[in-house]
Structure 1
Amino acid sequence: MAEWITSTMESLDYWGIALLMFLENLFPPIPSELIMPLAGFTIAKGDMGFVPAVLAGVIGTVLGAFPWYYLGKAVSEERLEHLADRYGKWITVSSKDIKKANNWFSRHGVRAVFFGRLVPGVRTLISLPAGINHMSFIPFVLYSTIGTSLWVIFLTTLGYLLGDNYELVDEYLGPVSKIVLLSLVIWFIIWIVRKRNRRYE
Protein backbone atom coordinates (compact mmCIF):
# COMPACT_ATOMS: atom_id res chain seq x y z
CA MET A 1 0.00 0.00 0.00
CA ALA A 2 2.75 2.46 0.99
CA GLU A 3 4.70 1.79 -2.23
CA TRP A 4 1.60 2.30 -4.38
CA ILE A 5 0.78 5.58 -2.61
CA THR A 6 4.36 6.79 -3.07
CA SER A 7 4.54 5.90 -6.76
CA THR A 8 1.14 7.50 -7.46
CA MET A 9 2.15 10.74 -5.79
CA GLU A 10 5.54 10.81 -7.50
CA SER A 11 4.06 10.26 -10.95
CA LEU A 12 1.00 12.52 -10.66
CA ASP A 13 2.27 15.19 -8.23
CA TYR A 14 -0.63 17.29 -6.81
CA TRP A 15 -3.10 15.38 -8.98
CA GLY A 16 -1.84 12.24 -7.25
CA ILE A 17 -2.66 13.68 -3.82
CA ALA A 18 -6.16 14.62 -4.95
CA LEU A 19 -6.73 11.22 -6.55
CA LEU A 20 -5.46 9.30 -3.52
CA MET A 21 -7.56 11.32 -1.07
CA PHE A 22 -10.59 10.89 -3.32
CA LEU A 23 -10.09 7.12 -3.35
CA GLU A 24 -9.40 7.11 0.41
CA ASN A 25 -12.94 8.37 0.96
CA LEU A 26 -14.43 5.74 -1.31
CA PHE A 27 -12.35 2.86 0.04
CA PRO A 28 -11.60 3.24 3.78
CA PRO A 29 -8.64 0.77 3.71
CA ILE A 30 -6.60 3.46 1.91
CA PRO A 31 -5.16 5.53 4.79
CA SER A 32 -5.03 9.32 4.70
CA GLU A 33 -2.60 8.87 7.60
CA LEU A 34 -0.03 7.81 5.01
CA ILE A 35 -1.00 10.02 2.07
CA MET A 36 -0.82 13.50 3.59
CA PRO A 37 2.22 12.84 5.82
CA LEU A 38 4.04 11.68 2.67
CA ALA A 39 2.99 14.95 1.05
CA GLY A 40 4.39 16.77 4.08
CA PHE A 41 7.69 14.90 3.73
CA THR A 42 7.79 15.79 0.02
CA ILE A 43 7.21 19.44 0.95
CA ALA A 44 10.09 19.28 3.44
CA LYS A 45 12.37 18.11 0.62
CA GLY A 46 11.35 21.15 -1.45
CA ASP A 47 9.55 19.17 -4.15
CA MET A 48 6.06 20.51 -3.38
CA GLY A 49 4.39 23.58 -1.97
CA PHE A 50 2.45 23.39 1.30
CA VAL A 51 -0.66 25.28 0.21
CA PRO A 52 -1.13 23.48 -3.15
CA ALA A 53 -0.62 20.09 -1.48
CA VAL A 54 -3.20 20.87 1.21
CA LEU A 55 -5.65 22.21 -1.38
CA ALA A 56 -5.24 19.04 -3.44
CA GLY A 57 -5.89 16.90 -0.36
CA VAL A 58 -8.97 18.89 0.66
CA ILE A 59 -10.46 18.93 -2.85
CA GLY A 60 -9.91 15.19 -3.29
CA THR A 61 -11.47 14.42 0.08
CA VAL A 62 -14.54 16.60 -0.41
CA LEU A 63 -15.16 15.19 -3.89
CA GLY A 64 -14.77 11.69 -2.45
CA ALA A 65 -17.50 12.45 0.09
CA PHE A 66 -20.15 13.05 -2.57
CA PRO A 67 -20.69 9.42 -3.67
CA TRP A 68 -21.40 8.32 -0.07
CA TYR A 69 -23.65 11.36 0.47
CA TYR A 70 -25.77 10.68 -2.62
CA LEU A 71 -25.82 6.95 -1.90
CA GLY A 72 -27.30 7.76 1.51
CA LYS A 73 -29.94 9.93 -0.15
CA ALA A 74 -30.86 7.31 -2.71
CA VAL A 75 -30.88 4.13 -0.61
CA SER A 76 -32.55 3.42 2.75
CA GLU A 77 -30.44 2.76 5.84
CA GLU A 78 -31.76 -0.81 6.10
CA ARG A 79 -30.83 -1.54 2.49
CA LEU A 80 -27.36 -0.04 2.96
CA GLU A 81 -26.75 -2.18 6.04
CA HIS A 82 -27.82 -5.29 4.13
CA LEU A 83 -25.50 -4.43 1.23
CA ALA A 84 -22.64 -3.71 3.63
CA ASP A 85 -22.98 -7.08 5.33
CA ARG A 86 -23.10 -8.83 1.96
CA TYR A 87 -20.45 -6.95 -0.03
CA GLY A 88 -18.76 -4.60 2.45
CA LYS A 89 -15.85 -6.94 3.12
CA TRP A 90 -14.30 -5.75 -0.14
CA ILE A 91 -13.98 -2.21 1.23
CA THR A 92 -13.96 -3.14 4.95
CA VAL A 93 -17.36 -1.55 5.63
CA SER A 94 -19.98 -3.36 7.73
CA SER A 95 -23.52 -2.60 8.87
CA LYS A 96 -22.04 -1.80 12.30
CA ASP A 97 -19.89 0.91 10.71
CA ILE A 98 -22.97 2.44 9.07
CA LYS A 99 -24.92 2.31 12.34
CA LYS A 100 -22.03 3.91 14.20
CA ALA A 101 -21.81 6.75 11.68
CA ASN A 102 -25.59 7.26 11.72
CA ASN A 103 -25.70 7.27 15.53
CA TRP A 104 -22.92 9.86 15.51
CA PHE A 105 -24.99 12.02 13.14
CA SER A 106 -28.16 11.54 15.22
CA ARG A 107 -26.36 12.71 18.39
CA HIS A 108 -24.61 15.73 16.94
CA GLY A 109 -26.74 16.76 13.96
CA VAL A 110 -25.04 18.74 11.21
CA ARG A 111 -22.04 19.34 13.50
CA ALA A 112 -21.35 15.62 13.17
CA VAL A 113 -20.09 16.21 9.64
CA PHE A 114 -17.51 18.69 10.94
CA PHE A 115 -16.39 16.66 13.95
CA GLY A 116 -16.66 13.38 12.05
CA ARG A 117 -14.03 14.55 9.55
CA LEU A 118 -11.56 14.75 12.42
CA VAL A 119 -12.13 11.21 13.75
CA PRO A 120 -10.49 8.24 12.02
CA GLY A 121 -12.96 5.43 11.54
CA VAL A 122 -15.86 7.88 11.31
CA ARG A 123 -14.58 10.52 8.87
CA THR A 124 -15.07 8.48 5.71
CA LEU A 125 -18.56 7.17 6.44
CA ILE A 126 -20.09 10.28 8.04
CA SER A 127 -21.30 11.30 4.56
CA LEU A 128 -23.71 8.35 4.52
CA PRO A 129 -25.93 9.45 7.45
CA ALA A 130 -25.76 13.02 6.14
CA GLY A 131 -27.40 11.72 2.98
CA ILE A 132 -29.75 9.34 4.80
CA ASN A 133 -31.02 12.22 6.94
CA HIS A 134 -31.25 14.53 3.88
CA MET A 135 -28.82 17.12 5.18
CA SER A 136 -28.83 20.18 2.90
CA PHE A 137 -26.06 20.13 0.30
CA ILE A 138 -24.45 23.52 1.05
CA PRO A 139 -24.06 22.95 4.83
CA PHE A 140 -22.77 19.44 4.05
CA VAL A 141 -20.06 20.83 1.76
CA LEU A 142 -19.24 23.68 4.17
CA TYR A 143 -18.84 21.52 7.29
CA SER A 144 -17.03 18.83 5.30
CA THR A 145 -14.56 21.33 3.87
CA ILE A 146 -13.77 22.96 7.22
CA GLY A 147 -13.31 19.66 9.06
CA THR A 148 -11.33 18.15 6.21
CA SER A 149 -9.06 21.19 5.98
CA LEU A 150 -8.09 20.89 9.65
CA TRP A 151 -7.42 17.15 9.29
CA VAL A 152 -5.37 17.53 6.10
CA ILE A 153 -3.31 20.42 7.52
CA PHE A 154 -2.67 18.41 10.70
CA LEU A 155 -1.43 15.32 8.82
CA THR A 156 0.62 17.33 6.33
CA THR A 157 2.31 19.28 9.12
CA LEU A 158 3.17 16.08 10.99
CA GLY A 159 4.73 14.63 7.84
CA TYR A 160 6.69 17.83 7.30
CA LEU A 161 8.05 17.78 10.86
CA LEU A 162 8.85 14.05 10.92
CA GLY A 163 10.65 14.03 7.56
CA ASP A 164 11.93 10.54 6.69
CA ASN A 165 9.90 9.12 9.57
CA TYR A 166 6.56 10.30 8.15
CA GLU A 167 5.24 6.70 8.26
CA LEU A 168 5.22 6.94 12.07
CA VAL A 169 2.07 9.07 11.72
CA ASP A 170 0.11 6.04 10.54
CA GLU A 171 1.79 3.77 13.08
CA TYR A 172 0.98 5.92 16.09
CA LEU A 173 -2.24 7.57 14.96
CA GLY A 174 -3.98 4.19 14.62
CA PRO A 175 -3.93 3.43 18.37
CA VAL A 176 -4.65 7.08 19.18
CA SER A 177 -7.76 7.02 16.98
CA LYS A 178 -9.02 3.98 18.89
CA ILE A 179 -8.52 5.84 22.18
CA VAL A 180 -10.44 8.81 20.76
CA LEU A 181 -13.32 6.59 19.69
CA LEU A 182 -13.38 4.83 23.08
CA SER A 183 -13.39 8.19 24.86
CA LEU A 184 -16.32 9.35 22.74
CA VAL A 185 -18.27 6.18 23.53
CA ILE A 186 -17.61 6.58 27.28
CA TRP A 187 -18.63 10.24 27.13
CA PHE A 188 -21.85 9.33 25.33
CA ILE A 189 -22.71 6.63 27.91
CA ILE A 190 -22.14 9.08 30.76
CA TRP A 191 -24.32 11.66 28.96
CA ILE A 192 -27.16 9.15 28.57
CA VAL A 193 -26.96 8.07 32.24
CA ARG A 194 -27.04 11.68 33.44
CA LYS A 195 -29.97 12.49 31.16
CA ARG A 196 -31.98 9.53 32.47
CA ASN A 197 -31.17 10.41 36.08
CA ARG A 198 -32.49 13.93 35.53
CA ARG A 199 -35.80 12.50 34.32
CA TYR A 200 -36.30 10.59 37.57
CA GLU A 201 -35.32 13.47 39.85
Structure 2
Amino acid sequence: MNEWVLRLIEGGGYWGVAFLMALENIFPPIPSELIMGVGGLAVARGRMDIVPLMIAGTVGATLGNYVLFLVADRLGYERLKPFVDRWGRWLTMDWGEVERASYFFRKHGGAVVFFMRFLPMFRTIVSIPAGLSHMSHVRFLLYTTAGAAIWNFVLVQIGRWAGKAFDEAEKYFGWATIVVAGAAILFYFWRVVTWKPTPS
Protein backbone atom coordinates (compact mmCIF):
# COMPACT_ATOMS: atom_id res chain seq x y z
CA MET A 1 0.00 0.00 0.00
CA ASN A 2 1.08 3.55 -0.65
CA GLU A 3 0.65 4.46 2.99
CA TRP A 4 3.07 7.34 2.61
CA VAL A 5 0.57 9.32 0.50
CA LEU A 6 -2.03 9.19 3.24
CA ARG A 7 0.67 10.04 5.77
CA LEU A 8 1.70 13.03 3.62
CA ILE A 9 -1.75 14.55 4.07
CA GLU A 10 -2.10 13.44 7.69
CA GLY A 11 1.46 14.42 8.58
CA GLY A 12 0.88 18.02 7.65
CA GLY A 13 -2.36 17.96 9.58
CA TYR A 14 -5.10 20.47 8.89
CA TRP A 15 -2.54 23.24 8.40
CA GLY A 16 -0.88 21.11 5.73
CA VAL A 17 -4.21 20.62 3.96
CA ALA A 18 -4.86 24.37 4.05
CA PHE A 19 -1.37 25.07 2.65
CA LEU A 20 -1.70 22.53 -0.17
CA MET A 21 -5.14 23.82 -1.10
CA ALA A 22 -3.89 27.41 -1.19
CA LEU A 23 -0.88 26.40 -3.28
CA GLU A 24 -3.08 24.35 -5.62
CA ASN A 25 -4.90 27.51 -6.65
CA ILE A 26 -1.66 29.27 -7.58
CA PHE A 27 0.49 26.42 -8.87
CA PRO A 28 -1.12 22.97 -8.70
CA PRO A 29 1.45 20.43 -7.47
CA ILE A 30 -1.35 18.11 -6.30
CA PRO A 31 -4.93 18.71 -7.50
CA SER A 32 -7.54 19.59 -4.89
CA GLU A 33 -9.55 16.54 -5.98
CA LEU A 34 -6.82 14.32 -4.56
CA ILE A 35 -5.99 16.47 -1.53
CA MET A 36 -9.56 16.49 -0.28
CA GLY A 37 -10.23 12.97 -1.55
CA VAL A 38 -7.34 11.59 0.48
CA GLY A 39 -8.55 13.73 3.37
CA GLY A 40 -11.94 12.03 3.09
CA LEU A 41 -10.18 8.68 3.11
CA ALA A 42 -8.42 9.71 6.33
CA VAL A 43 -11.83 10.59 7.80
CA ALA A 44 -13.13 7.14 6.88
CA ARG A 45 -10.11 5.60 8.66
CA GLY A 46 -10.76 7.71 11.76
CA ARG A 47 -7.48 9.62 11.34
CA MET A 48 -9.02 13.02 10.63
CA ASP A 49 -12.28 14.75 11.51
CA ILE A 50 -14.55 16.06 8.78
CA VAL A 51 -15.34 19.51 10.24
CA PRO A 52 -11.74 20.74 10.70
CA LEU A 53 -10.80 19.10 7.39
CA MET A 54 -13.56 21.02 5.62
CA ILE A 55 -12.57 24.26 7.32
CA ALA A 56 -8.89 23.80 6.44
CA GLY A 57 -9.58 22.89 2.82
CA THR A 58 -12.06 25.71 2.28
CA VAL A 59 -9.92 28.37 3.97
CA GLY A 60 -6.89 27.24 1.97
CA ALA A 61 -8.75 27.31 -1.35
CA THR A 62 -10.24 30.73 -0.59
CA LEU A 63 -6.88 32.24 0.40
CA GLY A 64 -5.17 30.88 -2.72
CA ASN A 65 -7.81 32.48 -4.93
CA TYR A 66 -7.73 35.68 -2.91
CA VAL A 67 -3.99 36.10 -3.55
CA LEU A 68 -4.58 36.14 -7.32
CA PHE A 69 -7.58 38.41 -6.86
CA LEU A 70 -5.53 40.92 -4.83
CA VAL A 71 -2.69 40.94 -7.36
CA ALA A 72 -5.10 41.70 -10.21
CA ASP A 73 -7.07 44.21 -8.13
CA ARG A 74 -3.96 46.15 -7.07
CA LEU A 75 -2.13 46.09 -10.40
CA GLY A 76 -5.06 46.76 -12.73
CA TYR A 77 -5.00 46.31 -16.51
CA GLU A 78 -2.16 48.72 -17.27
CA ARG A 79 0.35 47.24 -14.85
CA LEU A 80 -0.77 43.62 -15.10
CA LYS A 81 -0.42 43.45 -18.88
CA PRO A 82 3.39 43.98 -18.94
CA PHE A 83 3.72 41.34 -16.19
CA VAL A 84 1.69 38.80 -18.17
CA ASP A 85 3.52 39.68 -21.38
CA ARG A 86 6.88 39.14 -19.68
CA TRP A 87 6.09 36.02 -17.69
CA GLY A 88 3.38 34.55 -19.92
CA ARG A 89 5.45 31.52 -20.85
CA TRP A 90 5.85 30.49 -17.19
CA LEU A 91 2.26 31.37 -16.40
CA THR A 92 1.23 29.57 -19.61
CA MET A 93 -1.26 32.32 -20.31
CA ASP A 94 -1.21 35.40 -22.49
CA TRP A 95 -3.01 38.71 -22.38
CA GLY A 96 -5.58 37.56 -24.93
CA GLU A 97 -6.71 34.81 -22.53
CA VAL A 98 -6.96 37.32 -19.69
CA GLU A 99 -9.10 39.62 -21.86
CA ARG A 100 -11.40 36.77 -22.91
CA ALA A 101 -11.82 35.69 -19.29
CA SER A 102 -12.53 39.32 -18.33
CA TYR A 103 -15.16 39.63 -21.06
CA PHE A 104 -16.84 36.40 -19.92
CA PHE A 105 -16.78 37.65 -16.33
CA ARG A 106 -18.34 41.02 -17.22
CA LYS A 107 -21.00 39.36 -19.38
CA HIS A 108 -22.15 36.81 -16.80
CA GLY A 109 -21.58 38.69 -13.54
CA GLY A 110 -20.02 37.95 -10.18
CA ALA A 111 -21.83 34.63 -9.75
CA VAL A 112 -19.30 33.23 -12.27
CA VAL A 113 -16.81 33.13 -9.37
CA PHE A 114 -19.10 30.69 -7.56
CA PHE A 115 -19.80 28.38 -10.49
CA MET A 116 -16.19 28.31 -11.73
CA ARG A 117 -15.16 26.70 -8.45
CA PHE A 118 -16.44 23.41 -9.89
CA LEU A 119 -14.31 23.56 -13.07
CA PRO A 120 -10.64 22.56 -12.62
CA MET A 121 -9.28 24.61 -15.55
CA PHE A 122 -11.18 27.81 -14.68
CA ARG A 123 -11.36 27.91 -10.88
CA THR A 124 -8.06 29.78 -10.66
CA ILE A 125 -8.11 32.10 -13.67
CA VAL A 126 -11.52 33.56 -12.77
CA SER A 127 -9.87 35.31 -9.81
CA ILE A 128 -7.91 37.51 -12.23
CA PRO A 129 -10.84 39.12 -14.11
CA ALA A 130 -12.68 39.44 -10.79
CA GLY A 131 -9.74 41.45 -9.45
CA LEU A 132 -9.31 43.45 -12.65
CA SER A 133 -12.96 44.49 -12.52
CA HIS A 134 -12.47 45.51 -8.86
CA MET A 135 -15.25 43.24 -7.68
CA SER A 136 -16.24 43.79 -4.07
CA HIS A 137 -13.82 41.90 -1.84
CA VAL A 138 -16.68 40.72 0.37
CA ARG A 139 -18.67 39.37 -2.61
CA PHE A 140 -15.59 37.67 -4.04
CA LEU A 141 -14.79 35.98 -0.73
CA LEU A 142 -18.41 34.91 -0.20
CA TYR A 143 -18.76 33.40 -3.68
CA THR A 144 -15.36 31.73 -3.50
CA THR A 145 -15.88 30.35 0.00
CA ALA A 146 -19.35 29.01 -0.84
CA GLY A 147 -18.21 27.34 -4.06
CA ALA A 148 -15.07 25.91 -2.46
CA ALA A 149 -17.01 24.57 0.53
CA ILE A 150 -19.54 22.75 -1.64
CA TRP A 151 -16.90 21.26 -3.94
CA ASN A 152 -14.67 20.23 -1.03
CA PHE A 153 -17.63 18.56 0.68
CA VAL A 154 -18.31 16.52 -2.45
CA LEU A 155 -14.64 15.47 -2.68
CA VAL A 156 -14.44 14.53 1.00
CA GLN A 157 -17.62 12.44 0.73
CA ILE A 158 -16.20 10.59 -2.29
CA GLY A 159 -13.06 9.86 -0.29
CA ARG A 160 -15.10 8.67 2.70
CA TRP A 161 -17.24 6.45 0.48
CA ALA A 162 -14.18 4.93 -1.17
CA GLY A 163 -12.55 4.32 2.22
CA LYS A 164 -15.61 2.46 3.47
CA ALA A 165 -16.41 0.60 0.25
CA PHE A 166 -12.95 -0.66 -0.67
CA ASP A 167 -10.47 -2.28 1.66
CA GLU A 168 -7.58 -1.26 -0.57
CA ALA A 169 -8.79 2.28 -1.25
CA GLU A 170 -5.55 3.67 0.20
CA LYS A 171 -3.58 1.81 -2.44
CA TYR A 172 -5.61 3.23 -5.30
CA PHE A 173 -5.67 6.75 -3.89
CA GLY A 174 -1.93 6.50 -3.35
CA TRP A 175 -1.17 5.51 -6.92
CA ALA A 176 -3.71 8.02 -8.24
CA THR A 177 -1.93 10.78 -6.32
CA ILE A 178 1.45 9.77 -7.73
CA VAL A 179 0.16 9.50 -11.30
CA VAL A 180 -1.93 12.68 -11.29
CA ALA A 181 0.71 14.80 -9.53
CA GLY A 182 3.39 13.53 -11.92
CA ALA A 183 1.15 14.13 -14.92
CA ALA A 184 0.34 17.67 -13.71
CA ILE A 185 4.03 18.52 -13.40
CA LEU A 186 4.85 17.05 -16.82
CA PHE A 187 1.88 18.83 -18.39
CA TYR A 188 3.03 22.14 -16.91
CA PHE A 189 6.53 21.78 -18.34
CA TRP A 190 5.09 20.66 -21.68
CA ARG A 191 2.96 23.83 -21.70
CA VAL A 192 6.02 25.95 -20.90
CA VAL A 193 8.06 24.42 -23.71
CA THR A 194 5.33 24.47 -26.37
CA TRP A 195 3.51 27.63 -25.28
CA LYS A 196 2.98 30.35 -27.87
CA PRO A 197 1.11 33.61 -27.34
CA THR A 198 -2.20 34.07 -29.09
CA PRO A 199 -1.73 36.17 -32.27
CA SER A 200 -2.83 39.76 -31.67
Instruction: Flag the structure with more relative contact order, 1 or 2, with Cα contacts below 8 A and sequence separation at least 6.
Output: 2
Distance 1:91 1:21, change over 3 A: farther
The equivalent residue for 1:54 is 54
The equivalent residue for 1:71 is 71
Per the TM alignment, residue 95 of structure 1 is displaced from its structure 2 partner at its CA by 3.7
Per the TM alignment, residue 105 of structure 1 is displaced from its structure 2 partner at its CA by 1.1
| CA distance, structure 2, for counterparts of residue 17 and residue 57 of structure 1 | 6
The equivalent residue for 1:187 is none
Per the TM alignment, residue 97 of structure 1 is displaced from its structure 2 partner at its CA by 4.5
CA deviations 1:64-105 (Å, max 9, x no partner) are 122111111122336535433532443544445534432331
| CA distance, structure 1, for counterparts of residue 112 and residue 4 of structure 2 | 32
Give unmatched runs, 5+ long, in structure 1: 172-201
Find the residue that maps to 2:46 and give its secondary structure: coil
| CA distance, structure 2, for counterparts of residue 4 and residue 130 of structure 1 | 38
Residues matched between the structures, number: 171
Distance 1:81 1:14, change over 3 A: same
The equivalent residue for 2:116 is 116
The equivalent residue for 2:158 is 158
Give unmatched runs, 5+ long, in structure 2: 164-168, 181-200
Q: Quick check: 1:29–1:92 contact (8 Å CA) kept in 2?
A: no
Q: Quick check: 1:5–1:35 contact (8 Å CA) kept in 2?
A: no
The equivalent residue for 2:107 is 107
Residue range with higher mean Cα deviation, 35-44 or 80-89: 80-89
- TM-score, scaled to structure 2: 0.73
Distance 1:107 1:162, change over 3 A: farther
Q: Quick check: 2:58–2:152 contact (8 Å CA) kept in 1?
A: yes
Letter in 2 for 1:127: S
- TM-score, scaled to structure 1: 0.73
| CA distance, structure 1, for counterparts of residue 3 and residue 101 of structure 2 | 30
Find the residue that maps to 2:25 and give its secondary structure: helix
Q: Quick check: 1:101–1:122 contact (8 Å CA) kept in 2?
A: no
| CA distance, structure 2, for counterparts of residue 159 and residue 77 of structure 1 | 41
Per the TM alignment, residue 30 of structure 1 is displaced from its structure 2 partner at its CA by 3.8
| CA distance, structure 2, for counterparts of residue 95 and residue 166 of structure 1 | 37
The equivalent residue for 1:189 is none
